[in-house]
């Protein structure tokens, strides 16, 4: 199954108040294994970057000044996403900004049936625990020492590893095999053995068994079922 792990960086917390998407990073996974295909883009938001947002991701007005607007990369992004499920951490936030940008381009929103929220998965798997991406990386021993600031592609790479663990760990790959791969065993011990087909055994009591049971019941003193 193809899935896209993605993350975004923005100018703030709420697209309804004018905040915009400034970076998106997407990673392709097939059967919970990264394929190496990615989509990464920066966008000029057409507005100034608040200092508090820049402190989180380090994307300044100067850096973004020569980047294209979102609409210029829209078709390329949609071609990469296809109709695959989209995995994000606190996914409603990322979906909200993505939908807002799509709306500005006259494009319909992303169907919510495609949304997979790793916060919701983590809440079920680790109730009461911290659910931030950093906390989950620590829990699963995922190295994030190279992460000094938030970055969409870097965070998506970390989230891809977390997502695999939330779904059961790397052994999940044993459950799914690419249709292009056929596993064949030559060991005689693992070959399918033909066994004779045996008729089903009767499960109804015979007349003799019913009679024996009735005779036994007559020997029981004051049986409970007679009350």
Catalytic residues: 150
H, E, C per residue of 58-124 = CCCHHHHCCCCCHHHHHHHHHHHHCCCCEEECCHHHHHHHHHHHHHHCCCCCCCHHHEEEHHHHHHH
52 is annotated as contributing to ligand binding: yes
Cβ(77)–Cβ(24) under 8 Å?
Answer: yes
107 is annotated as contributing to ligand binding: no
82 is annotated as contributing to ligand binding: no
What is the Cβ-side half-sphere exposure of residue 165, based on CA atoms within 13 angstroms?
Answer: 17
The radius of gyration computed from the CA coordinates of the chain, to the nearest angstrom, equals 29
Q: Collect all residues with Cβ–Cβ distance below 8 Å to 160 and sequence separation of at least 6.
A: 5, 27, 29, 34
What is the Cβ-side half-sphere exposure of residue 160, based on CA atoms within 13 angstroms?
Answer: 25
155 is annotated as contributing to ligand binding: yes
- Per the annotation, binding residues for substrate are 7, 9, 52, 57, 155
- Per the annotation, binding residues for a divalent metal cation are 7, 9, 155
- Per the annotation, binding residues are 7, 9, 52, 57, 155
């Amino acid at each position: 199954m193809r899935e896209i792990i993605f993350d975004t960086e923005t100018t703030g917390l709420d697209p309804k108040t004018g905040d915009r998407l400034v970076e998106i990073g997407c990673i392709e996974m097939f059967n919970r294994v990264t394929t190496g295909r990615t989509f990464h883009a920066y966008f000029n938001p057409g507005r100034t970057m608040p200092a508090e947002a820049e402190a989180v991701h380090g994307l300044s007005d100067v850096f973004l000044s020569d980047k294209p607007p979102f609409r210029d990369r829209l078709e390329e992004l949609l071609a990469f996403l296809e109709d695959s499920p989209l995995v994000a951490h606190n996914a409603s936030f990322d979906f909200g900004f993505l939908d807002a940008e799509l709306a500005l381009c006259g494009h319909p929103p992303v169907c919510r049936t495609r949304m997979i929220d790793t916060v919701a998965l983590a809440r079920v798997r680790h109730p009461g625990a911290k659910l931030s991406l950093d906390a989950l990386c620590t829990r699963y021993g995922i190295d994030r020492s190279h992460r000094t600031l938030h970055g969409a592609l870097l965070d998506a790479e970390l989230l891809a590893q977390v997502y695999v663990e939330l779904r059961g760990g790397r052994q999940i790959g044993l459950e799914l095999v690419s249709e292009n791969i056929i596993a064949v065993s030559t060991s005689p011990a693992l070959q399918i053995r033909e066994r004779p087909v045996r008729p089903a055994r009767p499960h109804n009591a015979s007349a003799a068994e019913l009679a024996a049971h009735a005779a036994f019941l007559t020997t029981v003193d004051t049986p409970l079922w007679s009350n």
